[in-house]
């Protein structure tokens, strides 16, 4: 039997399998789909390359020719123009390059899963985990899987939920809590013959502000003539419009002049899809005999492409905790407390950054162009922050909001979003997740 069973075959699962196999730990991945499988979320932040480097996958990323991502650009909602940030301005330790990647997820996920398998992980595709099994004391001790119309039980010392937004254990144990602030709705599709903008920013991720509460759009080049677009707003706005998803997508595009220009001569080459109700957290990220990683633990909002970075860093931290627990034979929750602290600290930073971003809206460009704060914003956008003390810019963002809200007749009065930032205080100890 494997020492560790991993539920799901996405990037977090494959990274964890790779780390465990490199450490000599017997582990198995059970993935209900057969790769390649379609998936949204095609842009990676630079910190993921550190993980690729550590597990020996960076060479594969280069060999496969994924589009390089040298930076990010923001477009205002009412006029043409852009502000950009270049990752080369903030080199990351352990990352031998000044760019990240845009990826076609079905190909990327499949390559990463095969990489884990090449290192020793036993990979079972087309095998769905139906539930996690627990002993009489409430400790996870295996999984029940469905294969070829039959069910069978697979025992394990540790069960890792890497099931992504399926959140298998969160649902099974009633740990899942919907986010009380975010209720976003996204529609996405792929296009050919897109106007990607000036040559020096063609390979950037582009974010377009929309003149709506929490409204924005993305542009991600995933191939020579393939570009992913998505539009996002509050779910209530989609319902109020009374349109189907294709009509709503076109309507949202029309709200931004640069976005309209980018898609003016483009052809849709993949049907529109929708994502909703995707912001949530779990009451805890680990328990007796089990650990949750990546989106199976928490997902906030895709605005800064943080999902895969969080998944892969949580895999790294989880592997350290699992190896230590296998040495001691203690698989109780106390063995995972440092893992929980690390992951919670990191996702809390992302969460606060996203809250402040939505509160500031168009005023956010002040910070990406400000000499004093630019590097800290770059550090955040690179996914290299798991301790809040490293990014004082978040306090500066709060200070700007406080000044605008408390100064009579302030020039920027009425320009802020409706996010209640006091919902999450500036210290992790008083965060939204407790």
pLDDT per position as a tens digit, 48-58: 999 999 999 99
Q: State the residue range of the domain holding 288.
A: 4-67+94-178+280-342
Q: SS3 of 274, please? A: strand
The answer to whether residues 224 and 161 belong to one domain is no
For residue range 288-329, list pLDDT tens digits in order: 999 999 999 999 888 888 899 999 999 999 999 999 999 999
Region 180-206: what's the mean pLDDT? 94
Mean pLDDT of the chain: 92
Region 75-97: what's the mean pLDDT? 91
Region 178-205: what's the mean pLDDT? 93
The answer to whether residues 195 and 170 belong to one domain is no
- The phi and psi torsions of 127 (rounded to 5 degrees) equal -125, 110
Confirm whether 141 is domain-assigned.
yes
Q: Cβ contacts of residue 384 below 8 Å, gap of 6+?
A: 46, 47, 90, 92
Q: Cβ contacts of residue 397 below 8 Å, gap of 6+?
A: 356, 360, 367
- The phi and psi torsions of 84 (rounded to 5 degrees) equal -130, 155
User: Is residue 129 very low, low, confident or very high in pLDDT (cuts 50, 70, 90)?
Assistant: very high
Question: Residue 434: pLDDT above 80?
Answer: no
Residue 409 in tokens: 């007749």
Confirm whether 224 is domain-assigned.
yes
- Confidence at residue 177, expressed as pLDDT on a 0 to 100 scale: 94
For residue range 20-58, list pLDDT tens digits in order: 999 999 999 999 999 888 778 789 999 999 999 999 999
Region 259-266: what's the mean pLDDT? 98
Type and span of the H or E element at 234: strand 226-234
Confirm whether 322 is domain-assigned.
yes
Helical axes 393-406 vs 337-360, angle rounded to 10° = 40
Pairing of strands 128-134, 267-276: unpaired
The answer to whether residues 140 and 272 belong to one domain is no
Question: Residue 16: pLDDT above 70?
Answer: yes
The answer to whether residues 188 and 244 belong to one domain is yes
For residue range 370-400, list pLDDT tens digits in order: 888 989 999 999 998 888 888 899 999 999 9
Confirm whether 73 is domain-assigned.
no
Q: What is the pTM of this model?
A: 0.93
Type and span of the H or E element at 159: strand 158-161
Residue 410 in tokens: 């302030």
Residue 151 in tokens: 């069910």
The answer to whether residues 262 and 395 belong to one domain is no
What residue spans of 28-126 are helical by DSSP H? 47-54, 58-63, 105-119
The answer to whether residues 100 and 172 belong to one domain is yes
User: What is the domain count for the chain?
Assistant: 3
Pairing of strands 226-234, 216-223: antiparallel
Q: What is the CATH number of the domain that holds 210?
A: 3.30.9.100
The answer to whether residues 243 and 296 belong to one domain is no
The answer to whether residues 354 and 338 belong to one domain is no
């Amino acid at each position: 039997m494997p020492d560790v069973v991993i539920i799901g075959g996405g990037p977090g699962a494959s990274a964890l399998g790779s780390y465990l196999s490199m450490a000599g730990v017997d582990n198995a991945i059970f993935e209900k789909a057969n790769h390649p499988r379609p998936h949204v979320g095609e842009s990676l932040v630079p910190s993921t390359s550190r993980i690729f480097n550590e597990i020996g996958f960076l060479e594969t990323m280069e060999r496969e020719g994924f589009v390089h991502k040298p930076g990010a650009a923001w477009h205002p909602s009412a006029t043409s123009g852009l502000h950009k940030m270049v990752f080369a301005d903030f080199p990351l330790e352990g990352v031998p390059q000044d760019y990240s990647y845009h990826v076609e997820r079905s190909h990327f996920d499949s390559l990463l899963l095969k990489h884990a398998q090449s290192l020793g992980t036993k990979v079972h595709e087309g095998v769905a985990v139906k539930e996690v099994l627990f002993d009489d004391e409430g400790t996870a001790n295996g999984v029940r899987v469905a294969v070829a119309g039959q069910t069978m039980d697979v025992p394990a010392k540790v069960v890792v939920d890497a099931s992504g937004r399926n959140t298998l254990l969160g649902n099974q144990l009633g740990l899942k809590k919907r986010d009380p602030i975010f209720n976003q709705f996204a529609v996405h599709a792929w296009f050919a013959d897109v106007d990607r903008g000036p040559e020096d920013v063609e390979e950037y991720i582009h974010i377009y502000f929309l003149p709506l509460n929490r409204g924005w759009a993305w542009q991600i080049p995933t191939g020579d003539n393939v570009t992913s677009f998505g539009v996002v707003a509050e779910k209530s706005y989609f319902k109020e419009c009374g349109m189907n998803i294709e009509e709503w997508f076109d309507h949202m595009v029309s709200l931004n002049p640069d976005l309209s220009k980018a898609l003016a001569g483009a052809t849709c080459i993949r049907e529109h899809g929708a994502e909703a109700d995707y912001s949530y957290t779990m009451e805890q990220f680990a328990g007796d005999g089990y650990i949750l990683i990546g989106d199976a633990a928490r997902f906030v909002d895709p605005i800064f492409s943080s999902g895969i970075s969080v998944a892969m860093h949580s895999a790294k931290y989880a592997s350290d905790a699992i190896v230590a627990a296998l040495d001691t034979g203690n698989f109780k929750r106390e063995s995972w407390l440092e893992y929980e602290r690390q992951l919670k600290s990191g996702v809390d930073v992302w969460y606060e950054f996203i809250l402040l971003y939505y509160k500031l809206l168009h005023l956010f460009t002040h910070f990406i162009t400000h000499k004093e704060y630019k590097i800290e914003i770059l550090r955040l956008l690179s996914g290299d922050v798991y301790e809040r003390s490293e990014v004082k810019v978040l306090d500066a963002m709060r200070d700007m909001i406080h000044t605008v809200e408390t100064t009579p007749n302030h020039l920027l009065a009425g320009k802020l979003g409706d996010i209640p930032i006091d919902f999450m205080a500036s210290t992790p100890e008083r965060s939204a997740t407790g």
